[in-house]
Amino acid sequence: MSDIPKKPMKKFPGYPFDIRADEIDRRFRAVLGKFEIATVPLKIKVTEQIELNGGIVRQRLEYNVDKGERISAYHLFKKGLPKKAAGVLSIHGHGGDDIFPVGKAFHCHPLKNDPMQYSYIAALAGFRVLAPDALCFGERQAKWGCSTKFFDEIATHAELTSQGKSLAWKSVWDNSRALEVLESLGCRSMGAIGWSGGSTQTYILASVNKKVRASVCFFSFLTLRHQFSQYRCCHCLYHYIPGMMKAGIDWDQVVSLIPPRKIFLGWGALDAGSPEIMYRSFINAIERRREKESFGKCVYLHEEPGKGHEITMPMLKNALKFFRSNLK
């Protein structure tokens, strides 16, 4: 069991877990917000190219995500990689103050024995990898006012909710455009990978966008009913969509929308950000839908009994094996 302080579970409104997947999808899309078809051309531009250890090319790309909003990402691939190689959208962690200034670069260092460098190691494994900056990170940090780092994210989330949107909505929009970039680079089979807050963005994206054929999520499995009644372990804002609790849906139900597409969950039993009851709720929700609709195996697990909020090399190796099996 997770060695995490908690208080007794108080009475909390029950969630109707027997509702159909199409109803969960309808309710979730209603609170998440509408997505129009992107009409702003990507206009991808390579602004820098260097070669890293292991024959990996790293390009800095710029592209449009919306009108007046152009962002940057790293594109990593092996020299000579076939154009139609499987693509992986690599979403960086949320983490502490050390990630806000660097964003996409945090997981792109050419260190083949450091599992936290999953963008680089996925490229070594033969995938075409796109690693963009999330809003408020790296080259997308605010350049005005007195708010910085997590406070900038709070202000950004407040601005989005005042528009009837949310940080989750924005992450789905931006990451969906990143998938378009991978398609433009030649990928026809695509997955997504993320750690911590990047894991959260990954399973939200996969729940909404069916272009994601396989998802790798390291930690940060949160259910609102346990979060507000028992643990209070918030560490990023993607989970908090206005009206979601009122709509009677929780994140384990939302993640159950991913099947029959595949999902890999990496978890450490000592992770304070992913209490076991929340993690097991994700697995149980996926399995309930799989059994109800007679899908094949959908969820793949790697558990580390003595580890916390950290990717291990065995965990990453299993995740890349999962990608090789499901991105063809």
Task: Supply the pLDDT for residue 148.
Answer: 64
Please state, rounded to an integer, the average pLDDT across all residues of the chain: 91
The more confident residue out of 15 and 10 is: 15
Kindly tell me if the per-residue pLDDT of 2 is higher than 70. Answer: no
Helix-helix angle 167-184:21-32, to 10 degrees: 100
Segment 120-146 mean pLDDT: 88
Segment 140-144 mean pLDDT: 71
pLDDT bracket for residue 230 (50, 70, 90) = confident
Helix-helix angle 197-208:167-184, to 10 degrees: 70
Residues 155, 180: Cα–Cα separation, whole Å? 28
Kindly tell me if the per-residue pLDDT of 120 is higher than 90. Answer: yes
Kindly tell me if the per-residue pLDDT of 151 is higher than 70. Answer: no
Kindly tell me if the per-residue pLDDT of 29 is higher than 70. Answer: yes
Residues 190, 213: Cα–Cα separation, whole Å? 6
Task: Supply the pLDDT for residue 141.
Answer: 81
Nearest in space to 268 (alpha carbons), one of 233, 301, 225: 301
Kindly tell me if the per-residue pLDDT of 294 is higher than 60. Answer: yes
What superfamily in CATH does domain 21-326 come from?
A: Alpha/Beta hydrolase fold, catalytic domain (3.40.50.1820)
Report in angstroms the alpha-carbon separations of 312 from 267, 279, 290: 10, 18, 28
The more confident residue out of 163 and 246 is: 246
Task: Supply the pLDDT for residue 11.
Answer: 57
The more confident residue out of 11 and 288 is: 288
Task: Supply the pLDDT for residue 285.
Answer: 95
The more confident residue out of 215 and 155 is: 215
Task: Supply the pLDDT for residue 1.
Answer: 40
Segment 155-171 mean pLDDT: 85
Segment 154-165 mean pLDDT: 80
Q: Per-residue pLDDT tens for 36-94?
A: 888 999 999 999 999 999 999 999 999 999 999 999 999 999 999 998 999 999 999 98
Q: Is residue 253 exposed (0-12), middle (13-18) or buried (19+ Cβ within 10 Å)?
A: buried
Task: Supply the pLDDT for residue 6.
Answer: 58
The answer to whether 90 touches 103, Cβ cutoff 8 Å, is no
**Per-domain boundaries in the chain:** 21-326
Full-model pTM = 0.93
Segment 90-109 mean pLDDT: 89
Return the exposure string of 186-212: e unless at least 16 CB atoms fall within 10 Å of the residue's CB, then b: ebebbbbbbbbbbbbbbbbbbbbeebb
Kindly tell me if the per-residue pLDDT of 281 is higher than 60. Answer: yes
Kindly tell me if the per-residue pLDDT of 5 is higher than 60. Answer: no
Q: Per-residue pLDDT tens for 181-209?
A: 999 999 999 999 999 999 999 999 999 99
Task: Supply the pLDDT for residue 300.
Answer: 98
Kindly tell me if the per-residue pLDDT of 13 is higher than 70. Answer: no
| Mean pLDDT comparison of 14-18, 172-176, 245-249, highest-scoring range | 172-176
The more confident residue out of 181 and 135 is: 181
Proportion of the chain above pLDDT 70, given as a percent: 92
Task: Supply the pLDDT for residue 233.
Answer: 73
